A = this chain, B = another copy of it.
Amino acid sequence: MTKDMHDKDSATRRDFIKAGMAAGVGALLSPLLVKTAHAAAEAAPAAAPAAAAAAAEKPKLKIGDVLRVAREKLYPICRVCPECDGVACAGEVPGMGGIGSGQAFKNNYNTLNKIDLVMRTFHDVKKPDLTTTLFGHKLSMPVTSAVTGGVSYNMGGKMTEEEYVISILGGCMDAGTLGWVADGIGDKMDVFERRIAVLKNMFGGNAIVTIKPKTNDEIITRFRMVEDAGGLAVAIDIDSAGRAARAVPGQTVEPKTPKQLAELAKSTKLPFIIKGIMTVEEAKIAVDVGAKGVCVSNHGGRVLDYTPATATVLPAIADAIKGKATILVDGAVRRGQDVLKYLAMGADACLCGRPLVRGAHGGGREGVALMMNIIKDELTVAMTLTGVPSVKNVPANVITKGQA
């Protein structure tokens, strides 16, 4: 219980959480706690030495402020709950929740939450190595952004889609990691073109671009554009195929046969990733058809009610294809410990979604970078206290089934 173990950011974050405890349900905001939160917010400038007033235009962003602003912008689409567990927003699609009963989102959170970490301290891992390489790209840690978008209909429309993309890609880059560019089923070609232009002109192509499971021709056209923009890899989020029966012109989505997937893999010189894999069988097919990466994902619990947690299916998938393709996973990554758990289950890297939505809305590019850096810090502590020297080789015995 020492003060030095936790920097001021953490303290501010906790003040927010305390306020959030009351405010999360939307109505029971205790005056006392509000005061505490405000005091924390005001404490920032007050704590700055008077002499630094001129330079204080750009003070270091604090997590408490990011969360506070995020809630103001996202409420009531997202309540920025103290713990982002899919309960408050259950059923809110469009929005930020899980579809239907919300159980698939809750599965992701609850299953991961019940996995414990084995603490070990008799070793000399003082400065664990978090760096890794993803499709040839060096990362400061094995965490990228998840595939999120639809600012106007999912997040309340307080940012433009472009501001959002820049925040995500820029914040990830600033934290030494990588962002993904999302796609929308109904996005017209000019929308996609503007997005690719941002990717190329502002970020030199440093991102993975995912396309909806449109017709192969439409996908291949877009793959070509990503290649031209210098993108690192392309993906399809095949878990978006549920509306196949409702196809309207220009908005086709469809499940894909192995043959169609092979055509896509062959169509591009970039690494091809299939996102939305939830069975060993399809993971093996993905490798067979030439995918360089698979992303174990149930689309954040937003496409098929009652899908299992990604943490439930990941271990068997990793057993089956480890080393044959890069294994990515998303689902309820909230803190560095979650990353360590997924690595211990066999993932090569994780995608982090909802926390970055908060970061982008609460602090733009800087907010996203702050979120990523907090996760990096938490992962460092977790690796030290479990004795894991490197993210590239996390032993399975770092995790254990939770008891309660």
The answer to whether A244 touches B117 (Cβ under 8 A) is no
Among A42-50, A53-61, A303-311, the one that faces the other chain is A303-311
Among A16-24, A167-175, A264-272, the one that faces the other chain is A16-24
Q: Report the minimum CB–CB distance from A112 to chain B (whole Å).
A: 9
The answer to whether B306 touches A116 (Cβ under 8 A) is yes
Q: Which of B27, B185, B337 contacts A3 (CB 8 A)?
A: B185
Among A216-224, A255-263, A317-325, the one that faces the other chain is A255-263
Render A230-242 as a binary contact track against B, CB cut-off 8 A, 1 for contact: 0000000011111
The residue of chain B having its C-beta at the shortest distance from the C-beta of A14 within the complex is B92
Render A370-384 as a binary contact track against B, CB cut-off 8 A, 1 for contact: 000000001011101
Q: Report the minimum CB–CB distance from A389 to chain B (whole Å).
A: 11
Interface residues of A in 24-75 (CB under 8 A from B): 25-28, 30, 32-33, 36
Q: Report the minimum CB–CB distance from A187 to chain B (whole Å).
A: 8
The answer to whether A255 touches B76 (Cβ under 8 A) is no
Is the CB of A113 closer than 8 A to any CB of chain B?
yes
Is the CB of A135 closer than 8 A to any CB of chain B?
no
Q: Report the minimum CB–CB distance from A248 to chain B (whole Å).
A: 8
A46 to B359: give the CA distance in the assembly, Å.
35
The answer to whether A298 touches B119 (Cβ under 8 A) is yes
Is the CB of A201 closer than 8 A to any CB of chain B?
no
Question: In the complex, what residues of B have CB within 8 A of residue A402's CB?
Answer: 103, 107, 306, 308
Question: In the complex, what residues of B have CB within 8 A of residue A334's CB?
Answer: 101
Query: What are the 5 tightest A-B residue pairs by CB atom distance, in nearest-first order?
Result: A110-B404, A2-B185, A4-B186, A242-B381, A4-B185
Is the CB of A143 closer than 8 A to any CB of chain B?
no
Measured CB to CB, the residues of A under 8 A from B are: 1-6, 10-11, 13-14, 17-18, 21-22, 25-28, 30, 32-33, 36, 76, 82-83, 88, 90-95, 100-101, 103, 106-107, 110-111, 113-128, 147-150, 152-154, 182-186, 212-213, 238-245, 247-248, 251, 254-258, 261, 276, 278-279, 281-282, 285, 298-300, 302-309, 312, 334-335, 337, 341, 378, 380-382, 384-387, 400, 402-404
Q: Which of B94, B103, B251 contacts A14 (CB 8 A)?
A: B94
Q: Report the minimum CB–CB distance from A341 to chain B (whole Å).
A: 8
A341 to B307: give the CA distance in the assembly, Å.
12
The answer to whether B107 touches A404 (Cβ under 8 A) is yes
The answer to whether A116 touches B126 (Cβ under 8 A) is no
The answer to whether B125 touches A279 (Cβ under 8 A) is no
The answer to whether A384 touches B242 (Cβ under 8 A) is yes
Beyond A33-B76, A93-B10, A306-B402, is A121–B282 a contact (Cβ under 8 Å)?
yes
A224 to B124: give the CA distance in the assembly, Å.
25
Q: Which of B18, B93, B123, B385 contacts A257 (CB 8 A)?
A: B123
Identify 8 new A-B residue pairs, CB closer than 8 A, beyond the known A255-B384, A304-B382.
A3-B184, A4-B251, A83-B91, A118-B278, A118-B279, A119-B276, A119-B307, A308-B402
